[in-house]
Amino acid sequence: MNIKAERSWLMLFFPNCTSMKTFSFLVTSAVLMLLLAAGYTSAYKPVILVHGVLSGPSSFKNLTRFIKKAHPGTEVTAIDLFNNEESTEPMWEQIDGFAKVIQEIMDKSPEGVHLLCYSQGGLICRGVLSKLPNHNVQNFIALSSPLAGQFGVTEMLHEIIPVSGRKLVYLLCYRQFAQMHISICNYWNDPLRRVKYLKFNNFLPLLNGEKAHGKMAEWKKNFLRIKKLVLIGGPDDDVITPWQSSQFGFYNNNETIIEMRKQMFYRKNTFGLKTLDTRGDLIMCTRSGVKHTEWHSNKKVFKKCIQKWFD
Ligand X SMILES: *[C@@H]1O[C@H](CO)[C@@H](O)[C@H](O)[C@H]1NC(C)=O
Q: What residues are annotated to the active site?
A: 119, 237, 292
For the CB of residue 144, give the shortest distance to ligand X in the complex, in Å: 13
> Do residues 62 and 302 touch, judged by C-beta distance below 8 A?
no
> Do residues 103 and 129 touch, judged by C-beta distance below 8 A?
no
Q: Which of residues 279-298 bind ligand X (CB under 6 A)?
A: 297
> Do residues 141 and 115 touch, judged by C-beta distance below 8 A?
yes
Q: What is the DSSP letter of 280?
A: T
Cross-strand pairs, 139: 228
Range in contact with ligand X (rule: CB under 6 A) among 54-62, 101-109, 203-211, 215-223? 54-62
By CB under 6 A, is residue 62 in contact with ligand X? yes
Residue 62: closest CA among 303, 298, 311: 298
Q: What binding mask, one character per residue, do residues 9-48 give for ligand X by CB under 6 A, x or -? A: ----------------------------------------
Phi, psi of 243 (to 5 degrees): -60, -25
Range in contact with ligand X (rule: CB under 6 A) among 59-67, 78-86, 173-181, 232-240? 59-67
Q: List CB contacts of 293: < 8 A, sequence separation 6 or more.
A: 239
Question: Measured from the CB atom, is 116 or 229 closer to ligand X?
Answer: 116
Question: Measured from the CB atom, is 226 or 306 closer to ligand X?
Answer: 306
For the CB of residue 273, give the shortest distance to ligand X in the complex, in Å: 20
For the CB of residue 50, give the shortest distance to ligand X in the complex, in Å: 15
* Interface with ligand X (CB under 6 A), residue from 38, 61, 96, 199: 61
By CB under 6 A, is residue 59 in contact with ligand X? yes
Using N-to-C axis directions, what is the helix angle for 20-43 and 3-13, rounded to 10°?
Answer: 70
Q: Which of residues 195-254 bind ligand X (CB under 6 A)?
A: 252, 254
The number of residues that bind ligand X (CB under 6 A) is 8
Q: Which of residues 256-275 bind ligand X (CB under 6 A)?
A: 256
By CB under 6 A, is residue 83 in contact with ligand X? no
Amino acid making up residue 23:
F
How far is the C-alpha of 130 from the C-alpha of 96, rounded, in Å?
Answer: 11
DSSP-assigned states of every residue in 106-119:
HHT-TT-EEEEEET
Binding-site ranges for ligand X (CB under 6 A)? 58-59, 61-62, 252, 254, 256, 297
